[in-house]
Amino acid sequence: MHLTYVAASESTPTNAVQKQPQLNPQAATYVSEISIQQVAALKAGVSRPFFERIEQDGCTIARLRQENATLASTLEQRDTALVQFNQNAETIMRLEEEKVELTRALEDEIASRKTVLALREPEEDSPAEADLRGKKRKASPESPMRMGDVTNGNNEHDTSGHLNHMANKIAKDLDKTAGNETIQLCGLAPLRIIATRPDEVLALAYDKLNAYPYSNVPAHWRRLYEDASLHKVIELLRSQAATTEGISSRGGGKRRKLEVEAHPATWVCDIVVALDKGIQLSGAPGRKHLFDAVFQQLENLIEDDNDTDIATTFRVARPKALQTQFHIARANKPESFACFQSWLNNTRKPLIIPGTMAEWPATQRWQNPHYLLGLTLGGRRLVPVEVGKSYTDEDWAQRIMAFRDFMQTYLLPDQPEAIGYLAQHDLFAQIPALKNDVMVPDYCYTTPPEADEMALKTAGLANVKHIDEPLLNAWLGPKGTKTPLHTDPYHNILCQIVGYKYVRLYAPSETPKVYPLGIDGKGVNMENTSRVDVSHFRSRSLGGSTDLDAIRVAGKVFPLFKDAKYQEAILGPGECLYIPLGWWHYVESLSTSFSVSFWWN
């Protein structure tokens, strides 16, 4: 409704005729003109409820804002509590998994020790034999039995009996079904002859193991090779027991020495070969505790190593300081668990940490070659050795050899004829006593951040499963061993125990400039390895030969490599290096070196 009026102007006469009510063509009714006071009163009456409502709404808004602030604080506290809850839940889960693993390890240790004790127990004597044995013991107390130095007569008789007892105990354990047994899938034919013709069964199982990629070998063929290896050990023990018994019957009273050390191919070495090949080729999926128990018995029977030709410490010379502008970050002291987690979350880069291994027995023990020989049955244990400068070279090969041969051929000489490297080998599963000398760093139980876009492209990452416990690998070799520039699908803590190593690192973002190999000529996927030999580009001050022609060729073939950004350092004894998932790393030994890597995800 429109209200229209005409105010009297200064030019309008007072006696002018007032306008008549006007018809507003936009309105439905006639509207009379009203005074200014009426308009003001009308506005006040109409607007008052609106202003009151606005004021009420303003108070409500202020109250709700206060409530929102309180709720926001509560939500922030809830989020903090939720984060803490999740962290606690993860810790609980990890500790529960550790509890399961420790329980399993304890059960395995108990089983192993029971087997060892059973192997030590003599066969039960008749009352007359027991009485006679007691009289002999009173007359001449026995000294600890050694296989390497045994007299004929009673000691040789006891030796023969002990070997037979070991063989019988192994056979008795083989009659028991292994956990998750699948060996029956091999068929009845090999199982019928496995005890009497183990060599034939080993040959059959070996062919089956080589008919598949190693990771795809069916479990039952692994089990067949494992059990056939133990039956071979039984055969060797009984054969040597018969030989020892024969020596005893022919020897009269003259002191003799069993042929343990005289020739490399002795019965002890034959047993070690059968056991180690059984473990390494089959993975020992069902009877690892029995293998360990037999090895422990052999340790008790073999004389200690007294080879004076072998030094008591490895010769390790400190290299010159590395002159570089591109250092790997270093901590000043051992990092706490929380500080390292913060480094992972915020920095996500490599880090060298000193002092982490201060309490490890390995830092002292592993410097002594005799200690390592003692843990490997006088160096008889078999280990896989990479022969050649690098696994990318044409002349590279892998050989299985006795640890003593590896040490005398490659580790101890000042200038060995070739480079031999015990690389990426689970030496701790093969020789459990070594694992007592190291401790898994707490850093391996932190939670790595989500991988970035480039790290997610790391070769092999798509096929990697979550692991509950870190994977341990040993790296033992002389000066000059090289691990080509490559990536791993895990986070890595590399612990340097003996000697020095040069390390160069490239971030995943530099991948296009490091020239990954791809599929090699044999059809093997080598995407995780660079085509570039970093030794042509590292500082000449680190030593080694300088092949200027090779350097020039490398510069032409890989022109982008010189522009790739890198970090480098020398890793010394007692230092560990964190290498993030997907980072390219080149490692070169600058002296005799013993390292342990811990992979986790």
Per-residue pLDDT of 430-461, as tens digits, reads 998 999 999 999 999 999 988 888 988 888 88
**DSSP characters for 215-230?**
GG--HHHHHHHHHHHH
382-387: strand order across its sheet: 351-354, 575-579, 491-498, 593-600, 471-477, 420-425, 382-387, 397-402
Per-residue model confidence (pLDDT) at position 67 = 80
> Helix 219-250 and helix 198-209: axis angle, to 10°?
150
pLDDT in tens, 176-201: 998 889 999 999 999 999 999 999 99
On whether the 337-600 domain is CATH 2.60.120.650, my answer is: yes
Residue-averaged pLDDT of the chain:
81
The helix (run of H) or strand (run of E) holding residue 502 is strand 501-506
Contacts of 217 (CB under 8 A, 6+ apart): 208, 209
At 23, phi and psi to the nearest 5? -95, 115
H helix and E strand count, the chain: 16, 12
Name every residue whose Cβ is closer than 8 Å to that of residue 510 and which is 6 or more positions away in sequence.
564, 565, 566, 584
497 contacts 595 by C-beta, under 8 angstroms = yes
Asked if 305 and 370 touch (Cβ cutoff 8 Å), the reply is yes
Supply the pLDDT for residue 301: 76
Under the banding of pLDDT at 50, 70 and 90, the label for residue 214 is confident
Average pLDDT over residues 206-221: 92
**pLDDT over threshold 90, residue 42:** no
Which two tokens mark 148? 């390497």
Is the pLDDT at 4 greater than 60? The verdict is no
With 60 as the cut, is the pLDDT of residue 410 above it? yes
Of 86 and 147, the structure prediction assigns the larger pLDDT to 86
- Which pLDDT value is given to residue 495? 97
Write out the DSSP string of 81-113.
HHHHHHHHHHHHHHHHHHHHHHHHHHHHHHHHH
Per-residue pLDDT for 132 more than 80?
no
Helix axes 36-120, 288-301, angle to 10 degrees: 50
In angstroms, the first-to-last Cα distance of the chain is 78
pLDDT band of residue 101 (cuts 50, 70, 90) is low
The answer, yes or no, to whether residue 404 has pLDDT greater than 90, is: yes
> Contact 236/274 with Cβ under 8 angstroms?
yes
Question: Which segments of 257-329 does DSSP mark as H helices, in order?
Answer: 267-282, 288-301
Task: Pick the more confident residue, 72 or 96.
Answer: 72
Give, as one character, the DSSP assignment of residue 407. I
Is the Cβ–Cβ distance between 542 and 554 less than 8 Å? no
* Residue that wins the pLDDT comparison between 352 and 549: 352
Q: If phi over 0 gives left and psi between -120 and 50 gives alpha, with beta otherwise, what is residue 570? A: beta
Segment 2-26 shows an average pLDDT of 46
- Does residue 145 have a pLDDT over 50? no
- Residue 163: what pLDDT? 87
Instruction: Give how far the C-alpha of residue 194 lies from the chain's centroid of Cα atoms, to the nearest Å.
Output: 36
Question: Which residue did the predictor score with more confidence, 542 or 117?
Answer: 542
Q: Is residue 247 very low, low, confident or very high in pLDDT (cuts 50, 70, 90)?
A: low
For residue range 521-552, what is the model confidence (pLDDT) as tens digits? 666 678 899 999 998 888 877 776 567 787 78
Lowest mean pLDDT among 49-58, 187-196, 245-254, 479-488: 245-254
Distance CA 228, CA 220 (A): 12
Domain boundaries, the chain: 1-96, 144-301, 337-600
Q: Are 123 and 161 in contact, with CB atoms under 8 Å apart?
A: yes
Q: What is the token pair recorded at 211?
A: 């008919």
d(CA 185, CA 228): 15
DSSP 313: S
Per the CB < 8 A criterion, the answer to whether 164 and 178 are in contact is no
Distance (Å, whole) CA 499 – CA 505: 20
For residue range 269-325, list pLDDT tens digits in order.
999 999 999 999 999 999 999 999 999 888 887 766 567 688 889 999 999 999 999
At residue 228, does pLDDT exceed 90? Answer: yes
Q: Which of 588, 587, 542, 532 is nearest to 563 (CA)?
A: 532
> Is the pLDDT assigned to residue 50 strictly greater than 50?
yes
For residue 431, the SS3 value is: coil
Task: State residue 524's pLDDT score.
Answer: 65
Specify whether the CB–CB gap between 266 and 243 falls below 8 A: no
Residue 309 or residue 92, greater confidence: 309
Lowest mean pLDDT among 30-39, 65-74, 375-384, 557-566: 30-39
Bridge partners for 594 per DSSP: 476, 498
Best-predicted range by mean pLDDT (124-128, 254-258, 554-558, 590-594): 590-594
What's the pLDDT score for residue 111? 65
Position 382 scores a pLDDT of 93
pLDDT digits (tens, 9 = 90+) for 450-491: 888 898 888 888 888 888 899 999 999 999 999 999 999 999
Q: In whole angstroms, give the CA distance from residue 341 to residue 348.
A: 10
Q: Where are the alpha helices (DSSP H) in 347-392?
A: 362-365, 369-374
Residue 168 tokens, joined: 């019988």
User: Under the phi-then-psi rule, with left for phi > 0, alpha for psi from -120 to 50, and beta for the rest, what region is 153?
Assistant: left
Residue type, 164: N
pLDDT exceeds 90 at position 390: no
Mean pLDDT confidence for 322-351: 94
Give the residue-averaged pLDDT of 47-75: 78
Measured between alpha carbons, how far is residue 501 from residues 252, 406, 407, 589 in Å?
58, 20, 19, 4
What is the pLDDT at residue 542?
79
Which of 287, 293, 295, 245 lies closest to 271, judged by CA? 295
Exposure string of 80-105, with b = 16+ CB inside 10 Å and e = fewer, is eeeeeeeeeeeeeeeeeeeeeeeeee
Find the mean pLDDT for residues 542-563: 81
**Least reliable range by pLDDT among 66-70, 125-129, 165-169, 182-186:** 125-129
Q: 577 pLDDT exceeds 80?
A: yes
pLDDT bin (cut points 50, 70, 90) of residue 35 is low
- Whether 97 has a pLDDT exceeding 90, the answer reads no
Q: At a CB cut-off of 8 Å and minimum separation 6, what does 53 contact?
A: none
Distance CA 581, CA 476 (A): 23
The length of the chain in residues reads 601
Amino acid occupying residue 556: K
Query: Residue 219 pLDDT more than 60?
Result: yes
Q: CA-CA distance, 149 to 256, in Å (whole number)?
A: 8
At residue 56, the pLDDT reads 80
- Mean of the pLDDT values across residues 129-146? 39
Q: What is the mean pLDDT of residues 334-355?
A: 95
Predicted confidence band of residue 591 (pLDDT cuts 50, 70, 90): very high
Looking at residue 461, its pLDDT comes to 87
Q: What's the rounded Cα separation, in Å, for the pair 229 and 238?
A: 15
